Chain A
Amino acid sequence: MSPRAGLVLLLALLASCTQRSVYVDPASSTDRMLYFFEVDRNGVKHPISSKELDLENKETKRVPNPALVDIDSLLEIKVRKPPSDPAAELVGGNAQDLLDEKDQILALMELLDELTAARAKTLDAHRTGVPVAELDALIENLADLKIKFVDAFKELHPKGSDAHKAANKLVGSGGGLGALKPFLQEEIDAIQARDQAIKDEVKTRSTTLRLEAFLDSPGEELVALHVDKYDSLDEQRLAVRDRAGLNLSETERAELTKQMEKTEAIAQTLNAVKAKEISIKEALPQTLGIVSPKLAALVERAQILAEKLTDPERLAKVKEDFEKAAQAAKTAAEDTAQGLSADFRAKAEALPDELVGQLTTDADAAKLALQALVKAQALVDSWKSLKEDPDPTTMLNIATQSKEVYNDLRGSEAILDLPGWIADAFEKTTTLIKLEAKAGADETTKRVVAEFETWLNGPEVAAAYEHLRGYYADVQEASEIIQEVQLIVGLGDTKVDRVAPEVPEAFDVDIEQLQDTSLDLKRVASKDGDTILVRGTLKAPGRDPVESTANFKITHYGWYAKLVASVVLVRPDEVASGDNDYRFAPALGWMHHYRPRPEDDGATAGFFRPLRPAAGIHAIFLNFDNEDGFGLGGTVSFWEDRLQVGSGYNFSADNSDEGRIYYFVGSDLFGMLQAVGIGDQ
């Protein structure tokens, strides 16, 4: 292996194994409304939305995209109100003023009732005659109430105001202060009506927040998750999960069984190649079929389509049709262009070529897209090197090629716009004709317009368009393949590209009623590498909704163990026949890992973080000297089991020269393939 290849390999391995949390700056008001932090299974809080946990201010300084979170943790979501809001201002402003005013008037009415009662009592005492001191006390109490009332009334309705004038008129009309009671009642009624009007207005102007969460498992449909207080979805049941990796759920058990079967099949295929029982050419599609039957089928479909679309005869025919159409247009233009402006003639003559050019460009784009698909076939060829050069460079080649295919396919999405381009080209033609018809309504122009219309509806254009439609149908099929391949090879990508649908059960919660919430990941049936997507949508009246998307990648922090199916190259220490060469074998390891949290910065974390080591025991199916055997031993792995070395004891060997001790080097084949974008779940 060359030093360059070795370096690139190391980088590739590190890139696929050392995933880190990624953050972006908050860009929208919705981003700033959501403050995330993680509570691990021991109840320890870990910051997400800020470097240091800030539960007092909850100021969002970064948006996870994605942040790694432990599979058994609780994702707390603190929801802050946006800094300003028209409806809130309405409620906090006018509505509050009204409320204050109403309270003041109610207090006045109460005071007036008290005053009226006190006055009646005082007048009665004055009329009937009571001791002077008693009458003085009554009069002075009444005086206090009057002063208090008048001051309060004038504070509400200052002298000079209409209300003040109206009130004085009522008082002077013979009712005294008592005449103000219906006046005050009317004021309260008016306030209530205004209050109701404001409430109605608030309803139509209220700003709302919608919170939706999804589980994004590669290769699966997005699953909406329950967000407490923000939707009516059922709460998920606690997921069956064992950090020791032994108590498997039904799905996990089925998955592991499938992987073991596949590793065994691959080992057998590779051993058959080694024994020259089958050729590499036969073995490769077979191997890809085992690893990723879906991808293998797509590659096959892509090959057929690519041949169809890059068929030189077909392309020549399409071009010829368009040239014929162009020529027909030119002839029509020349025949009828007498008397037209030079500018129009030039434009008219250029149009058919422009149209042909446009369509040729599209054809090229389609070709490129399909060629990218054909590159996928090169992946198959790369499996050759597994036999010829069974060192890690092979893995590197596969990794690089898959990424290339993935990128090419993503880049070719533009071909999906093909029908739009066709429509534009035709639209251009007709628009020009219509413009010219308006500019000069003479007979010549009308003739040209008629000629162009004849041309557009003529057999040449019809034939060209028919061919193009057939071509486009193939391109559409290709685009479907692209999307399917993207779904499969998008596994290593950190960005969530899929558009999460609107969750019908989600509420638009008024921002006055916002509440904090959380996502209990223990209730989410996720696995390492899955993504949790939390989407907040702020809807303010008269404005476009503002979305915020936070992504969380599921991982394991701390200690955890898992069962790992691997394909290994194993060799006996000693066999009587002397055939102690490496051979392929399936192995199952129980590997113990430790992943330090991002904030851990001790020596242990410094060792574990870059190397991602693990240690465990393994069971292996052996075949030395055509004798099937079963071995047990120890394994040490690096980079999340991508590279494994181990040694063990063959229980089927009676003597040391029957391969009692063996060694191996191998890889967690499926983890690796998934990391580089191949391999069905």
Chain B
Amino acid sequence: MIIGDDRAELDAALGKRVSICVLVGAETADAGKVHAFLDKKGWGDEPWNRWFLVTNADKITSDERTAWFGGNAVKDYAFLGRKTKASASSGPAGDLLDGEDCDYMECIKKFAEADKK
């Protein structure tokens, strides 16, 4: 789901027992590409996995930026724990791509790590 000015869906997910992948950036950026790939579904995604593309970075609070991305501006993805919502991993969205395609296996692994938190 793309989060523009309204982050209600994100907040709703943050309140559920689901692991979340937060991608921050434009739809044309790496984060947007990853999001589009994940949206195709059927890549091994689970009912307890959610992914959001936050196109308006201002919608991420400073505390969230610090907690999820470690305050690092280069990082534009973060996987949040299913139970704790703590950051399981974060980094540049390009790391989730494999050439022109998505590195689905990497995404599966990141979600799995988040599933355990």
A residues in contact (CB < 8 Å) with B: 122-123, 126-127, 132, 136, 139-140, 142-144, 146-147, 150-151, 153-154, 159-160, 164-165, 167-169, 171-178
Contacts and interface: CB of A to CB of B under 8 A. Distances in A.
A142 B48 CA distance: 12
A345 to B, nearest CB: 83
Nearest to B44: A176
B112 A174 contact: no
Interface string B54-97: 00000000000000000000000000001100000000000000
Interface in B2-52: 17, 37, 40-48
A651 B45 CA distance: 118
Contacts of A168: 98, 101-105
Contacts of A139: 46, 48, 82, 115
**For this complex, into which size category does the number of interface residues on chain B fall?**
20 to 34
Contacts of B82: 139
B115 A143 contact: yes
B42 A174 contact: yes
B101 A150 contact: no
Identify the interface centre among B45, B101, B104: most chain A CB within 10 Å of its CB. B104
Contacts of B83: 136
A152 to B, nearest CB: 11
A174 B99 CA distance: 19
A172 B102 contact: yes
Identify the interface centre among A122, A150, A165, A178: most chain B CB within 10 Å of its CB. A150
A123 B47 contact: yes
A147 B47 contact: no
11 contacts: A140-B116, A146-B109, A146-B111, A147-B113, A150-B105, A159-B106, A160-B99, A171-B108, A172-B40, A172-B102, A174-B42
B17 A132 contact: yes
Given A139-B46, A168-B105, 7 more contacts: A164-B98, A164-B105, A167-B105, A168-B101, A169-B101, A172-B104, A174-B42
A173 B42 CA distance: 7
A235 B47 CA distance: 76
Contacts of A178: 44
A482 to B, nearest CB: 83
A126 B48 contact: yes
A168 B105 CA distance: 7
A159 B109 CA distance: 14
Contacts of A132: 17
Contacts of B102: 168, 172
B98 A143 contact: no
A115 B13 CA distance: 26
A165 B43 contact: no
A178 to B, nearest CB: 8
Main secondary structure of the interface of A (DSSP, over half): helix
Interface of B: 17, 37, 40-48, 82-83, 98-99, 101-106, 108-109, 111-113, 115-116
Contact of B108 (A122, A150, A159): A150
Contacts of B115: 139-140, 142-143
Nearest to A150: B109
A174 B43 CA distance: 5
Given A150-B108, A165-B99, A168-B103, A144 B44 contact: no
Contacts of B41: 174
Contacts of A140: 115-116
Nearest to A174: B42
A150 B44 CA distance: 12
Contact of A143 (B17, B42, B104, B113): B113
A43 to B, nearest CB: 65
A160 B98 contact: yes
Nearest to B104: A171
A142 B112 contact: yes
Given A174-B43, A176-B43, A147 B109 contact: yes
Contact of B37 (A127, A172, A176): A172
Please list the 10 inter-chain residue pairs (A to B) with the smallest Cβ-Cβ separation, ordered nearest first.
Answer: A176-B44, A174-B42, A143-B112, A146-B112, A143-B115, A150-B109, A171-B104, A172-B43, A172-B104, A150-B105
Contacts of B106: 150, 159
A177 B44 contact: yes
Contacts of A176: 42-45, 108
A126 B106 CA distance: 23
A123 B102 CA distance: 24
B19 to A, nearest CB: 9
A164 B97 CA distance: 12
Nearest to B102: A172
Nearest to A153: B105
Contacts of A153: 105
Nearest to B113: A147
Given A139-B82, A140-B115, A172-B101, A146 B48 contact: no
Contacts of B40: 172
B63 to A, nearest CB: 26
Nearest to B103: A168
